Amino acid sequence: MLIVILLSLVVAILWSLGEVGYSEISRDLDRANVYVYQYFFRSIIYLLVVVIFQISFFKSFSWNRFLIVLPIILCDFFASYVVNIAMINGKLSVVSPIMAAYPILDILFGIFLLKEKMSLVSLFFVFLVSISIIVLATHTKGDSIAKHPIRGIIFAIIYMIFVALSTYFEKSIYCQNFSIVEFYYYKGIFYFFISIVFASFIGLTPIKFHKLDLKLLQGEALTPIGNILYSLSLNLGNMSVVAPISSLYSVFTVLISRFVLKEKTTVLEKICIGVIAIGTFALILL
């Protein structure tokens, strides 16, 4: 259990650093270019894991196995699409806690889909987090950084739904004799072809590799590395433990964004952000 907790904390740190990097490059580069670089870097890192573990690319491929993991990959794909929209339009210190509240949905999936029992105290925290998200959506105002704060919050909620579904489905395949390496084998192939398709249609501006800065590497590399460690944590531990601890990345993101992006938050926003973070983490203790 200690290893799972430590891995989840490392994931939270990597995701927070990657999220800040995404936010910065999303405002400096064309959105379409951001998507292609994001998918390309993910495919390279995911397939590198496959190469390290020496899996044959062609002999190991199975359409039946691919179709099993396809719903997870699609959820992750759409999540990676809307997360950029959320960060481009909204304040990172606001949308990040909302996106990190996906364990709330995973708990609800457990109640309604897996018929798991839930205490009244847990339901109370779910209610508090939900109300906080609604308050943020209705009271957040624009500033010099956020272009369209309400739109950012809406896409943050959509992202939260996709990640919750992805986590739920991914945990289920590990109970069907799927290994992490096999999962990222299919995931890497998918993102490689998606990056080629996107690049073919948008007229991609070539990457100047000798001019790659830390923001681009931070945003495009740390997140997929965190994803791999997150899958390892899910494989080793319970979803109800891994998801809430990993979602603490929003706390780190809020702290980093205040110094790196110079974002300012109102008192009401700070209260809502605090409730979302505390409520999400409290569910692990109940």
What per-residue confidence (pLDDT) applies to 144?
A: 45
208, pLDDT greater than 60: no
- The model's pLDDT over 216-258, given as tens digits with 9 standing for 90+, comes to 666 778 888 999 999 988 888 777 667 767 777 776 776 676 6
215, pLDDT greater than 70: no
Once rounded to an integer, what is the mean pLDDT over residues 143-169?
81
Q: For residue 209, what is the DSSP state? A: G
In the block, residue with structure tokens 């995404």: 22
Percentage of the chain beyond pLDDT 90 is: 13
Range of 56-70, 92-106, 132-146 with top mean pLDDT? 56-70
What per-residue confidence (pLDDT) applies to 117?
A: 66
Higher local confidence (pLDDT), 49 or 104: 49
- The model's pLDDT over 228-239, given as tens digits with 9 standing for 90+, comes to 999 988 888 777
Residues across the chain: 286
Q: Give the range among 148-157, 160-169, 267-276 with minimum mean pLDDT.
A: 267-276
- Average pLDDT taken over every residue of the chain: 77
- The model's pLDDT over 44-77, given as tens digits with 9 standing for 90+, comes to 999 888 888 766 666 678 899 999 999 999 999 9
DSSP 53-80: TT--TTTT--HHHHHHHHHHHHHHHHHH
Higher local confidence (pLDDT), 105 or 161: 161
102, pLDDT greater than 70: yes
Contact present, 52 and 185 (Cβ < 8 Å): no
In the block, residue with structure tokens 């950084």: 145
84, pLDDT greater than 60: yes
Higher local confidence (pLDDT), 23 or 77: 77
Higher local confidence (pLDDT), 108 or 158: 158
CA distance linking residue 176 with residue 186, whole number of Å: 16
Q: Where are the alpha helices (DSSP H) in the chain?
A: 2-28, 31-52, 63-89, 92-99, 102-112, 120-139, 149-173, 180-202, 214-236, 239-246, 249-260, 267-282
pLDDT tier at 110, thresholds 50, 70, 90: low
What per-residue confidence (pLDDT) applies to 229?
A: 92
Entry pTM: 0.76
What per-residue confidence (pLDDT) applies to 211?
A: 47
pLDDT tier at 187, thresholds 50, 70, 90: very high
Residues with Cβ within 8 Å of 190's Cβ and at least 6 positions away in sequence, in order, are 43, 70, 73, 77
